[in-house]
């Protein structure tokens, strides 16, 4: 597996991100076009197909969103526990979920100072990731 860093840490699954999204989107567009060209005889069928295609688009979208939300919750719990073990205190509630998610890439040596700096300087997740000197890889996020 390639060494993970700021430039390549985003995980793209081409079949899902491009294949499923493209096919679902094109299918929905085609169903709308079909609806506009339908006759009275097949109008009801065209409406049903359009609704089904829209449902496929929603299912593809929420499949990704729900997985990411579940992972975000797990990361928040892991990082809160990591911070508690290191300091005896939970993470500062001023940290946003995106900041906490970015902090997971920081090694223990940089973690505490970077967490404090993220609050005081209101660093974005991108700024936090760019501030990390020695990247701690996370190969499990999808």
Between CA 37 and CA 53 the distance in angstroms is 17
Which ranges of 12-107 would DSSP assign to H, the alpha helix? Answer: 14, 21-36, 43-87, 97-103
For the chain, the first-to-last Cα distance in angstroms comes to: 15
CB of 110 closer than 8 Å to CB of 83? no
Q: Which helix or strand (DSSP H or E) is residue 109 part of?
A: helix 108-120
Between CA 54 and CA 70 the distance in angstroms is 24
- The conformation of residue 42, written as its DSSP 8-state character, comes to G
Cβ of 71: how many Cβ atoms within 10 Å?
Answer: 15
Q: Which of 142, 56, 135, 64 is nearest to 102 (CA)?
A: 135
CB of 90 closer than 8 Å to CB of 65? no
Give phi and psi for 133, each to the nearest 5: -85, -45
- Using the predicted structure, report yes or no on whether residue 10 has a pLDDT greater than 90: no
Between CA 38 and CA 35 the distance in angstroms is 5
Tens of pLDDT, residues 83-132: 999 899 999 999 999 999 999 999 999 999 999 999 999 999 999 999 99
User: To the nearest whole number, what is the mean pLDDT of the chain?
Assistant: 89
| Amino acid 8: pLDDT | 60
Extents of the domains making up the chain: 14-131
Tens of pLDDT, residues 37-82: 999 999 999 999 999 999 999 999 999 899 889 999 999 999 999 9
């Amino acid at each position: 597996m390639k060494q993970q860093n700021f430039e390549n840490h985003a995980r793209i699954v081409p079949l899902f991100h491009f294949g499923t999204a493209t096919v679902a989107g094109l299918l929905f567009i085609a169903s709308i076009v079909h609806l506009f060209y339908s006759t009275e005889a097949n109008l009801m069928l065209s409406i049903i197909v359009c609704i089904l295609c829209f449902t496929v688009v929603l299912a593809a979208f929420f499949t990704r969103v729900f997985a990411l939300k579940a992972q975000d919750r797990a990361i928040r719990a892991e990082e809160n526990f990591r911070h508690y073990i290191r300091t005896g205190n939970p993470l500062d509630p001023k940290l946003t979920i995106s900041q906490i998610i970015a902090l997971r890439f920081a090694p223990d040596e940089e973690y505490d100072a970077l967490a404090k700096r993220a609050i005081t300087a209101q660093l974005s997740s991108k700024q936090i990731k760019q501030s990390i000197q020695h990247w701690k890889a996370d190969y499990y996020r999808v």
